[in-house]
Amino acid sequence: MDDLRQIVDSPQAVSRWHWHRRIYNWVLHWSDTRYGLLALIVLAITEPICVPIPADVLVVGLCLGRPKRSIKYGLVCSAFSVLGGTIAFSLGLAIGGERVVHFFEQISFGPIHLGHRAHQALELYQAYDFWAIAISALTPVPYMLFSWVGGMAGVSLLKFIGISLVFRTMRFGGEALLFYFFGQKARRLIEKYFNIATIIVIIFLAVVVYVIKKLGQVFSG
């Protein structure tokens, strides 16, 4: 676990006003304790609801320490992340669209203003609901935001859960597989190629959906 300890800055090295970095370090330290799996479950559930720290942080920390348990960590994180997303989806549906957007308008992380992003998420849902869920579940786009907005956009809950399960598993499961096969070298691979791999996957899926639609038109005609 020496590499993990090098990742985490000491409390004295992090300025007091860098609260997001302090939370990041606090979350990551759980991977070096016997409560790591429980902490992963809690983070996976709460991240789509209200926590600004991605669950990948803890998945990577746990996989670094025990690469042969990586698949377990990836699957657990995927399942409970979708559970958290479903809770946020249901809350967004119950609270109502205007209140949800107003809530996000009060939140910002540095230059990132979630109110504007909430409006963008709603527009994306209304035009491309499948891709809105898939991209938010797979990429660094805030899954929390799209989970809350999904309910107010009138997306089917079963559709949201199904697509989320597939793409959250692709995300966390993919990270876990890298650690399972490559051990600590996987961290460098994820940091270097994660965004490129995500773009390739999205393009591939877009081509698959396009081909399926064309085949459907051919056979229906």
**Residue from 79, 8, 90 nearest 41 by CA:** 79
Task: Please give the pLDDT value at position 85.
Answer: 95
Task: Please give the pLDDT value at position 125.
Answer: 79
How far apart CA 195 and CA 207 sit, in angstroms, is 19
pLDDT tops 90 at residue 106: no
Task: Please give the pLDDT value at position 70.
Answer: 93
Q: Per 3-state DSSP, what percentage of the chain is helix, strand, and coil (rounded to 5)?
A: 80, 0, 20
pLDDT band at 92 (very low <50, low <70, confident <90, very high): confident
Structure tokens at 207: 């081509």
**88/17: higher pLDDT:** 88
Task: Please give the pLDDT value at position 17.
Answer: 39
How far apart CA 139 and CA 48 sit, in angstroms, is 13
Per-residue DSSP letter, 172: I
Structure tokens at 36: 């790591």
How far apart CA 152 and CA 9 sit, in angstroms, is 40
What percentage of the chain carries pLDDT values higher than 90?
A: 22
Burial (Cβ within 10 Å: 0-12, 13-18, ≥19) of residue 43: buried
For residue 68, the one-letter residue type is K
pLDDT in tens, 55-77: 888 898 898 888 889 999 999 99
Q: If you average pLDDT over every residue of the chain, what do you get? A: 76
User: Residue range 105-113: average pLDDT?
Assistant: 56
pLDDT in tens, 179-215: 898 887 777 776 676 667 666 666 766 676 666 566 5
Cα–Cα separations (whole angstroms), residue 208 to 7, 45, 178: 39, 31, 25
pLDDT tops 80 at residue 46: yes
How far apart CA 76 and CA 119 sit, in angstroms, is 31
pLDDT tops 90 at residue 80: yes
pLDDT tops 80 at residue 89: yes
Task: Please give the pLDDT value at position 16.
Answer: 43
Task: Please give the pLDDT value at position 57.
Answer: 85
pLDDT tops 80 at residue 130: yes
Task: Please give the pLDDT value at position 132.
Answer: 84
How far apart CA 218 and CA 161 sit, in angstroms, is 30
Is the torsion defined by CA of 205, 53, 48, 176 positive or negative? positive
Element (H, E) at 106: none
